[in-house]
Amino acid sequence: MDMGPLQGVKVIEMAGLAPAPFGCMILADLGAQVLRIDRGGAPTPGLTPPAGPLDRGKHSIALNVKDPADRETLYALIEQADVFVEGYRPGVAERLGIGPRDLAARNPRLIYGRMTGWGQDGPLAPRAGHDINYIAISGALDLVGRERPVPPANMIGDFAGGGMLLALGVISALYERAQSGKGEVVDAAMVDGSALFTAFMHGMHNVGLWNAPRGQNPLDGGAAFYDTYECADGKHVAVGCVETQFYAELLTVLGIDDPELPFQHDPGGWPRLKAVLGAKFKERPRDEWARLFADSDACVSPVLSPWEAHEHPHNRARGAFIEIDGVRQPAPAPRFSRAATTVPAGLSKDPEQIRTLLSDWGVDADAIARVTG
């Protein structure tokens, strides 16, 4: 039975926070065998990743890479791995003796994934930062909000422009290795990845379609036909009827027939259109509007919280959310016709499972004994 398109790929992940674990979760979702190396030795406050969905499909062991014996054990694992992922600041892995050159000496075919905010070079490379800082200088943060930029949680930097970029880089490097037989170092930087997500806006700006202040452009809430509206119960619906025929259907379902309304794509008329649409949506609760628009092409959807999204009929029909160890979470994606993915298991620290995993990797018995006790 197929277990995903990355079945047989062996990944070692150095434990960290958010982007690198998310990238390795994607690899595990796609069938890779992921062994997470937790920090051994004395605990360090703030460096222990929280348990949850990012752990799924993985196994874990604890090693103190500052200890020569544990580092030798890691080297033994590296010799059998396809991918190694770390999320340290530039230079830290080298000081620990697990930098790209150290590991390439043990395994020249190794794909070495480096997940950082600023990248491996540049004046900010050694500095601290978080998602909000990376998306600030990439231009992505300035696109979100009305009067002032509003952080879109940590989705654009940590996950979309970070972990997803890392997974894409690792998979690309694995494909190239199949041609060249050589390893690769992947420099996945959140500042680069979040900048990629502004490519379309750069194109629109170049042709004069994204030149207004924040919140006044066609796709950032400026247009009446592309915004959210409050309903009678204080909840919201999302309206995205860009095309004229879909906009016409919106007006039909809402029961608006006013020949004096401004033209849909006239920015000067957007405030009046918003007032008309806003007043209409205030007449009914969100879920009633959702039912009225369910079978239309008006491009109107209820704005759901992450905690209720699993209840939507479309998400239920597709099995878009799953439950692992009592935690509801998004299901693996994308989907494949042949190399189908399965529902991942939760994180495993079971010594017997880890012995089986490492034996399948070809790790020698002495190294397995050191890892599992």
Taking the C-alpha atoms of residue 296 and residue 289, their distance in angstroms, rounded to an integer, is 11
- Selected catalytic residue, list 102, 130, 187, 265: 130
Residue 142 is among the residues annotated as catalytic for this protein: no
- The residue written with tokens 């991918």 in the block is 83
Taking the C-alpha atoms of residue 86 and residue 112, their distance in angstroms, rounded to an integer, is 8
Amino acid in position 242: V
Sequence-separated (6 or more) residues with CB below 8 Å from residue 214: 142, 143, 144, 145, 146, 147, 148, 149, 220
Cα atoms found within 13 Å of the Cα of residue 215, Cβ hemisphere only: 8
List alpha helices for the chain, DSSP H.
19-29, 68-78, 92-95, 100-106, 131-138, 164-180, 190-196, 199-206, 244-254, 270-281, 286-293, 313-318, 351-361, 365-372
Residue 109: count of CB within 10 angstroms of its CB: 14
In DSSP terms, 31 is beta-bridged to none
Within its chain, how far is the Cα of 348 from the centroid?
22
Residue 262: count of CB within 10 angstroms of its CB: 16
Taking the C-alpha atoms of residue 124 and residue 309, their distance in angstroms, rounded to an integer, is 38
- Selected catalytic residue, list 70, 131, 158, 220: 158
Q: What are the Cα distances from residue 38, in Å, to 32, 86, 98, 102, 189?
A: 18, 12, 15, 20, 23
Residue 158 is among the residues annotated as catalytic for this protein: yes
Active site residues: 130, 158
